[in-house]
Amino acid sequence: MRPVQPSSALVLSRRRAHAFQQARKTALALERHGRRSRTHGHDDWRPWHRRVWPSCRTVPFLTFLVFLVAFIAVLPDAAHAVTTFTIAMILPLSDPSLGPSMIAVRNVTQLALPAMNALDPANYAFQLVSYDSQRSRSGAITAMVQAVARDNAVGILGEYSSLISIPLALAGNPHQLWQCASATSSEMSIKAEFPRYFRTIPDDPQQGLRMAYLARAMGWTSVNLLVGTDFYGQSIGYNFQLSAATLGISVETSLTFNPGTTDVTAAIAAIKASASNIVVFAAFAPDGVAIFREARRQGILGPQYAWVGSESMSLYLSSLDPRDPKYATDMANAQGLLYLFPRQASATNEFAALQARYTATYGGNTDVASISYGTIFYDCALAMARGLIQVANRYSASAVLAHVSNASLTDFITTFDGASGRVVFDAVGNRIGDFDVYNVYNGAATVAFSVAASGAVTTVATPHFYSGSTTPPPDRPPKSIAYPNYGDPGVIVLTALRALLLAAILATMFYLSTMRHLAAVKNLSWPFLVTITTGCVVMLVSEFLGIGVPVGAWGCHASGWVLAVGFDLVMASAGVKTYRIFSIFANKRLAALKGVNNSNLMRIVTATVLVQCLIFAIWVGAFPLAPQLSVNKAYIMYECKAVSPAGATAYPILLGVSLGYNGLLLLAVAFFGYKTRNVMSAFRETVWIAYTAQNIVLASLVAIPFSLIQLPEWGLGTYYLRSAVLLYAIAFTFYALVGRVAWTLVHSGVMHQHANNPAPLTGRAVSTTQLSELHAAAAAAAGTTSTTRAADAMKVSLHHDSGRVAHVHGVYAVKSTSAPWYALPAWERRAVHLYAADGMLVIVPDAVHASGIVLKLKCVQFDPDPPAAPAPFCVELFHTGAKGGSWMVQMGSQAEHDAWVKVLGSVCLRSTASKLRSTGGKTSGGTGSGGFKSTVEGESEMRGMHRAASAMPALGAGAGAGGGKRPQIGGKGTGVGPR
């Protein structure tokens, strides 16, 4: 604070009082002197009337003379006396964010002194003193008290906000302080409480109306409102809602926040969930920073959104600190912002004079109009000076200085031309004026529109919104349909793929029906192939039922019910097939196998489906779900919800029962598939069933959560993902259990030649060079001779001494029958070598320096007439070692086939499947899984099948030497060596 100095008016008053006091003392002294002369003068010889008359005439004369001299002495001072009024500026100069802007405002306001002192220089002068409010109510009131006590301030310019200006005005009322500020709250228009407050900025009702005018001009009929809980925010919010209702603009959400807080998460989340993308808000610049940061975090700053702020947002850019690490982000957050501000720049002479004084004082090329609130407070100072002169002229300057004028606001305010244009007040001291709309883009604010009091919105410059577009974003963006419908491209694509798969399934079944007489089809049990196919078709059809607007309980339950029935048909059929194989190879008594014929197994499948239907019947009948329309700002979707509280309680229970039931079924299939995974030849179908169970488990982990959890933000994304996964699962299931049979039959007899050679599947790799060395070593050690048997392609070397076979080889078409389904194995030329003395079987590509595989004969079994052979003259080789594997070898002729069978029979075991077929004897057509007939014709035949299963080597990974001990399914067991 500067030291206290008496004003010139106070000095003049003291001088006048002193002069009159001296004159009065002189007159009294003279009068006392005359009385003393009359009382003590005894030598006066004149008559009494002569003595009295001179004294009676001299005393008044002398008194008059003294007063005349005193008056003449002070007359020059009285003629040239000038009354000085002190006005205090109280602004938040030390605030970290607003301080720099308020200092600039103070500098502009101080330049008003020349214009103020030029109003009546002969009688009045003005001085401005500056105080810091510290942006607090207590700080502002303390500054006001000091301004009155030290400077005898008669007027206040400030504070910046309504929150502080209101208590400041109330505290200044006892001192009859005149106040002008940028506070726009309509609260301060109540003259009973704020009799001496006026403003050169339009009040909140005018600003709220102009904001509504702008929204209407942009074509927005739906907005969100976000305001602070202080006087400023509540005033703008209230008046905007009144104006919006009049103009037909609906406020979707009206939200508040506490000024100064940094947590506006809930308010921004509510705006994000609302139906409108337009946000009208009233916030000071520091609050605007917090709001924009949270809006960015929640994703509502973008091309789909528009933000319209009040005039206080004019300080947003200048309040940012370039040293802040978030400075660049905060600048970008305001991209496309629109905010209103009273029109500042004008073509008046006062603005030109202000600009000239500012340039002369501070230099540079700064446009005064770019200093927010600069001309507002400048005109406040001019209006304050004019008002004080009017009141002083009417009620005396001394009354103003003594704070006892009791003047009213109508005695004070007057219309004038200021730096911001024509300043016209209404009856309560509010300025009536127009607004400009500023557009922030690329870090600069420019005027885009002008909004007049009549509601006319004039485009000054093309605005740019967040993405750079000059087209205002719609208030209600077009809503996407978040339920599957045939108008969506993704749904159309999935529907087409589903239809193609359905057609492929039906075509495959038609083809297999024409080939059902073949052993490859018979051995997979035609009735269960049909039920599996039916289940796949039913599951595909269930997806069609979920497209479109759901209607009633059927619309919510149909798709899930039908899908569950299809799933049960597939899994139950696969499960009973693996169970039958497990029963045959695990049971010791013939009586235990009587229940695994097709009729009994089909009853199990039917019962499984009926249980699932019973669960859904209870669900639909007692606790139905009904579709409910759910709409948000981006999507329209339907949600199936329980129609009663009991249904809401039963929903998770029934859903859990249904999913648990299907889960147990899937677990059973996976268990039996795993236990029978090593069964050879036709029984190897169980491996594919195990693959199917694994894929369904993986698909369920994705499909089930996305079927139960609705994510509106994803739109149809959850449907796309679930449907694609389900489509894959159905396609894989059909191929693994049915389609691969047709694929094998279609490609039977066709020997594909490929330039690329697949990697070895099992066994020990060996090259052709090593093979020739092995051949030479065997010949040298045993002394063999080569001969040709059965055909030119088969070459046999016999031992010289014993005449037994030492080496057999030939080049044939070979195809792996144990490769994964996705490998799509093809026929390839391979050289097959059998070294009896060394106990090895070698399969190597018919090329130089190529790699192949070596199998130990004690771990090799063969099937001379494989039922799944796609071509004649085939022998299937099986490796029962740790790595497993099987190969189909096509001989050149029947004679060559028979010769190889004879050689293999002398050194290897026949496969169990081959033995079972020969032991079973009489069959009557299509049989169960693995080639078993659907009906048991006699106990002796079943015993033969059971004996064959008992004679089967271990299905596990290990292989020992010697047999005799019955192996357990899934165990390591003991192997059978070569004969």
The predicted structure's pLDDT at residue 231: 86
What 3-state DSSP class applies to 93? coil
Q: Most confidently modeled of 18-27, 153-162, 542-551, 582-591?
A: 153-162
192 pLDDT band, cuts 50/70/90, is very high
The predicted structure's pLDDT at residue 278: 95
Q: Which two tokens stand for residue 552?
A: 């009633």
The predicted structure's pLDDT at residue 12: 45
CA distance 732 to 915: 32
Around 7, how many Cα atoms within 13 Å sit in the side-chain half-sphere?
27
Residue 533, CA distances (Å) to 49, 539, 608, 925 in order: 157, 10, 17, 21
CA distance 323 to 333: 17
What 3-state DSSP class applies to 414? coil
512-516 own/partner pairs: CB under 8 Å, 24+ apart: 512/738, 512/741, 512/742, 512/745, 515/742, 515/745, 516/926
For residues 375 and 420, is the Cβ–Cβ distance under 8 A? yes
pLDDT at 923 over 60: no
| Burial (CB count within 10 angstroms: exposed 0-12, middle 13-18, buried 19+), residue 901 | middle
The predicted structure's pLDDT at residue 59: 52
List, for residues 89-145, the tens digit of each pLDDT value.
999 999 988 899 999 999 999 999 999 999 999 999 999 999 999 999 999 999 999
Best CA proximity match to 619, nearest among 553, 567, 565, 568: 553
Mean of the pLDDT values across residues 584-598? 61
The predicted structure's pLDDT at residue 757: 38
Residue 170 φ then ψ, to 5°: -65, -40
The predicted structure's pLDDT at residue 973: 34
CA distance 293 to 264: 10
Token pair 């001990």 is at which residue?
965
CA distance 651 to 557: 12
User: The whole model's pTM is what?
Assistant: 0.55
Q: Which two tokens stand for residue 389?
A: 């002169």
**DSSP for residue 232:** H
CA distance 205 to 430: 10
The predicted structure's pLDDT at residue 713: 65
Best CA proximity match to 239, nearest among 179, 306, 187, 307: 187
For residues 214 and 444, is the Cβ–Cβ distance under 8 A? no
Relative orientation angle of helices 526-545 and 717-734, to the nearest 10 degrees: 170
The better pLDDT of the pair 177, 483 is held by 177
Q: Could you tell me the sign of the dihedral formed by the alpha carbons of 616, 617, 623, 624, in that order? A: positive
Q: Name residues whose C-beta falls within 8 Å of residue 968's C-beta, 6 or more positions apart in sequence.
A: 586
941 pLDDT band, cuts 50/70/90, is very low
pLDDT at 781 over 50: no
Across the chain, which distance is largest between two alpha carbons, in Å? 201
For residues 98 and 315, is the Cβ–Cβ distance under 8 A? yes
pLDDT at 681 over 60: no
792-800 own/partner pairs: CB under 8 Å, 24+ apart: 793/891, 793/892, 793/896, 794/891, 794/892, 794/896, 794/899, 794/900, 796/899, 796/903, 799/837
The predicted structure's pLDDT at residue 309: 95
Q: Name residues whose C-beta falls within 8 Å of residue 719's C-beta, 6 or more positions apart in sequence.
A: 483, 484, 490, 491
Residues of the chain by 3-state class (helix, strand, coil), percent to 5: 50, 15, 35
The predicted structure's pLDDT at residue 348: 83
CA distance 17 to 24: 11
Mean of the pLDDT values across residues 725-734? 94
792: region left, alpha or beta (phi > 0 left; psi from -120 to 50 alpha): alpha
List, for residues 513-557, the tens digit of each pLDDT value.
988 887 778 777 889 999 999 999 999 999 999 898 888 888 898
Residue 644, CA distances (Å) to 91, 617, 623, 624 in order: 62, 17, 8, 8
**Percent of the chain predicted with pLDDT > 90:** 46
CA distance 123 to 758: 111
What 3-state DSSP class applies to 640? strand
The better pLDDT of the pair 592, 246 is held by 246
What 3-state DSSP class applies to 887? strand
For residues 808 and 833, is the Cβ–Cβ distance under 8 A? yes
Q: Most confidently modeled of 328-332, 594-598, 807-811?
A: 328-332
Mean pLDDT (the chain) is 80
CA distance 63 to 55: 12
979 pLDDT band, cuts 50/70/90, is very low
List, for residues 689-703, the tens digit of each pLDDT value.
888 888 899 998 888
pLDDT at 762 over 90: no
Q: How far is CA 67 from the centre of its chain?
A: 91
Relative orientation angle of helices 374-395 and 99-110, to the nearest 10 degrees: 50
Angle at 639 between CA 633 and CA 643, to 5 degrees: 130
- Give the domains, in start order, of the chain with CATH numbers: 83-200+373-407 (3.40.50.2300), 204-345+435-459 (3.40.50.2300), 489-739 (1.20.1070.10), 803-916 (2.30.29.30)
Q: Cis check for the bond before 159: say yes or no (omega within 30 of 0).
A: yes
List, for residues 873-906, the tens digit of each pLDDT value.
899 998 887 677 888 999 888 888 988 998 898 8
Around 941, how many Cα atoms within 13 Å sit in the side-chain half-sphere?
15
The predicted structure's pLDDT at residue 60: 56
List, for residues 829-882, the tens digit of each pLDDT value.
888 999 888 888 999 887 665 678 888 888 899 999 887 777 788 999 988 876
List, for residues 263-291, the tens digit of each pLDDT value.
999 999 999 988 899 999 999 999 999 99
Q: Which two tokens stand for residue 919?
A: 């032991």
CA distance 872 to 866: 10
Q: Name residues whose C-beta falls within 8 Å of residue 188's C-beta, 6 or more positions apart in sequence.
A: 162, 165, 166, 169, 194, 197, 199, 203
Residue 785 φ then ψ, to 5°: -125, 145
The better pLDDT of the pair 259, 594 is held by 259
Q: What is the DSSP string of 928-977?
A: STTS-BSS---HHHHHHHHHHHHT----SS---S---SPP-TTS------
The predicted structure's pLDDT at residue 442: 93
For residues 606 and 527, is the Cβ–Cβ distance under 8 A? no
The predicted structure's pLDDT at residue 770: 46
Specify the amino acid at residue 799: H
Mean of the pLDDT values across residues 381-407? 95
pLDDT at 958 over 60: no
pLDDT at 312 over 80: yes
The better pLDDT of the pair 752, 179 is held by 179
CA distance 240 to 308: 12
Mean of the pLDDT values across residues 184-190? 90
The better pLDDT of the pair 34, 508 is held by 508
